[in-house]
Chains A and B, each alone.
Chain A
Amino acid sequence: MRVSDIMIKKLRDAFAPEFLDVIDESHRHEGHAGARPGGQTHYRVKIVASAFAGKSRVAIHRMINDTLAEELANQVHALAIEASAPRA
């Protein structure tokens, strides 16, 4: 199972997002520290969920980091996050 699929499932289970996209940007970091042949190292997460309403940016990122802690500790070297609550 690809890392991105695992991350999508975990984020869905945790936040029931209205919008979710996990983009593999590993190819943009080829040759850089943290990149590996075969990729699956640098990702961008775009997520909109009511679970984030009223929370500070740092708190939202921490929620996402905690959910993906295992991936961050192992395979994933960098995670770009664009997160927000749905516009009322």
Chain B
Amino acid sequence: MAALAEVGSAGHFRELLQQKGKSLVVVHFWAPWAPQCIQMNDVMAELAKEHSQVTFVKLEAEAVPEVSEKYEISSVPTFLFFKNSQKIDRLDGAHAPELTKKVQRHASSSTISAGRNDNAKEDLNVRLKKLTNAAPCMVFIKGSPQEPRCGFSRQMVEILNKHNIMFSSFDIFSDEEVRQGLKTYSNWPTYPQLYVAGELIGGLDIVKELEASGELDTICPKAHKLEDKYDALYLYFSSVL
């Protein structure tokens, strides 16, 4: 598999954006200690295959602080979208479906329809398997985490955020085939649905029970913030001194 090109300095970054002109450039601000970033690199490699006119690069956020600070990168992974050296979009977090959507939207060719049409040819179960595995922790809700359209979905997102859990979400209102298909695929009739490593953990009731017993923190992956890493290093050094 072709590795993603790495941007190692602010100068290199400027040159790259200039060179690419009006073509879409997607920059993955990553850290080698964050497993979600490794996963997202794979997602980007797949997207690169589909969108040959788009440039995908990664930039180790802590290695090039000049650029990270300029764009206020506070956690990894973060994705920035550039055209004509201008930032046109941003995605915070390991949201594979959302990254895919944004790439489709911003890529200048007619790839926007390709997503839905290609998926229609795919076997539904294959598609559902990919979706439930799209991120280490996936939640299928009504609406978005920012604007949930159902009280149960809202409560689910609140619990996940309260526990600083890193998750990607899928809006089942956006796709009727997925909405009905997933109920059969998982033998689970209701939403929201939480998956970890592609496996159904349960709905809101079960997540509440797991929260109460403390198991939720063990089962679900946590969000990594750069500040936390710096805090941890600071504590280490202060204790050594």
A binding-site residues for B, Cβ under 8 Å: 29, 32-33, 57-58, 61-62, 65, 69, 72-73, 78-82
CB-based contact B189/A65 at 8 Å: yes
B161 at the interface (CB under 8 A from A): no
Query: Quick one: CB contact mask for B153-187 with A, threshold 8 Å, 1 for yes?
Result: 00000000000000000000000000000000001
Residues of A within 8 A of B152 (CB): 78
B203 at the interface (CB under 8 A from A): yes
Task: Determine the residue in chain A with the shortest Cβ distance to B173.
Answer: A33
Residues of B within 8 A of A58 (CB): 200-202, 206
B binding-site residues for A, Cβ under 8 Å: 142, 149-152, 187-190, 200-206, 209-210
Mostly, the B contact residues are mixed
CB-based contact A33/B150 at 8 Å: yes
What CA separation (Å) do A73 and B183 show in the bound complex? 11
A57 touching B188 in the complex, CB below 8 Å, given contacts A32-B150, A32-B151: no
CB-based contact B205/A82 at 8 Å: yes
CB-based contact B151/A61 at 8 Å: no
Residues of A within 8 A of B149 (CB): 33
Mostly, the A contact residues are helix
Q: Which of B151, B190, B206 contacts A57 (CB 8 A)?
A: B206
Q: Which of A29, A72, A82 contacts B189 (CB 8 A)?
A: A72
Residues of B within 8 A of A65 (CB): 187-189
What CA separation (Å) do A29 and B150 show in the bound complex? 10
CB-based contact B189/A80 at 8 Å: no
Residues of B within 8 A of A78 (CB): 152, 190
What CA separation (Å) do A33 and B173 show in the bound complex? 12
CB-based contact B151/A62 at 8 Å: no
Task: Determine the residue in chain A with the shortest Cβ distance to B201.
Answer: A58
Q: Which of A33, A57, A72 contacts B202 (CB 8 A)?
A: A57
20 sample A-B contacts, Cβ–Cβ < 8 Å, listed by A number: A29-B151, A33-B142, A33-B149, A57-B202, A57-B206, A57-B209, A57-B210, A58-B206, A61-B188, A61-B206, A62-B187, A62-B188, A65-B187, A65-B188, A69-B189, A73-B189, A78-B190, A79-B189, A80-B205, A81-B205
